[in-house]
Amino acid sequence: MRILVQRTLFVFLILSCAVPVRPQTSAATLDPSTVIGHPVRIEYLAIGGFRYDLDCSPLTGYKEFEDLIYPLNDFETTRFLKGSEASKDNSRILGLAGLLGVTVGMIGLLTAPSNEQTPFWISSIGGGLLWDISALLGSESEAAKFNCVQRYNRFADGKEQILPKTPQDEKSLLPVGPASVPTPVASSTPGPK
């Protein structure tokens, strides 16, 4: 009986870790020249926050957003996306540290005698504060991603123009025509005698 329960739990664990495969084409596999021109649809979900769709294909990872945004060669859109990614990473780190602090603190409060609970109170309160800070960083990340998608949609709707690629070096910005030497101009004012 015990082996049957272990095998059942093992199979359940394997099946719960499986990622569903979507047969739809994601934005990462599309040519950037064909992606630009299709606005990203934004939906607000009560539980999950914002959801972004491009041609009925959900954009979930930052790699898909990068493949969509970087061909625009727009500094502001790229800044929004990179800021969103950095805030999300910081949010996850602080969230895990906060969860760990709250967990250690609560376990200590439940198991330690009352005269030894002070460090566990500090750990619980500090973990809660870190958890709150991580929530603020997470909301900042979502706001930056939303602004990035809004700016992309301005490009897709034709309200903004795609900028040309930046030059590789400064010399390519110089004019290539023949060198011109200024000729001296005769002065009309009389000089000293």
Residue at 168 is within a domain:
no
Q: Cβ distance 64 to 97 under 8 Å?
A: no
φ, ψ of residue 45 to 5 degrees: the values are -105, 145
Q: Which two tokens stand for residue 75?
A: 């500094």
pLDDT for the residue numbered 188? 64
Low-confidence ranges of the chain (pLDDT < 50): 2, 4-32, 35
Structural domain includes residue 150: yes
179 inside domain? no
Query: What's the pTM value of the predicted model, to 2 decimals?
Result: 0.63
Domain membership of residue 118 (yes or no) is yes
Residue 40 lies in a domain: yes
Q: Judge whether 185 lies within some domain.
A: no
H or E segment and range at residue 67: helix 62-69
Classify residue 12: in a domain, yes or no.
Answer: no
**What CA–CA distances, in Å, run from 174 to 73, 150, 165, 168, 182?**
22, 36, 16, 13, 18
**What pLDDT, in 10s, does the model give residues 40-69?**
999 888 887 889 998 888 888 899 999 888
Domain count of the chain?
1
User: Which pLDDT belongs to residue 148?
Assistant: 93
With contact defined as beta carbons under 8 Å apart, do 125 and 133 qualify?
no
Per-residue pLDDT at 45: 86
Q: Within a domain: residue 186?
A: no
Please say whether the beta carbons of 130 and 98 come within 8 A: yes
pLDDT at 189: 65
Range of the domain at 71: 25-160
Output the pLDDT for position 10.
43
Query: Are the C-beta atoms of 54 and 41 separated by less than 8 Å?
Result: yes
* Confidence (pLDDT) at 60: 85
Q: How far is the C-alpha of 72 from the C-alpha of 70, rounded, in Å?
A: 5
Pick from 120, 92, 119: which is nearest to 105 by CA?
120
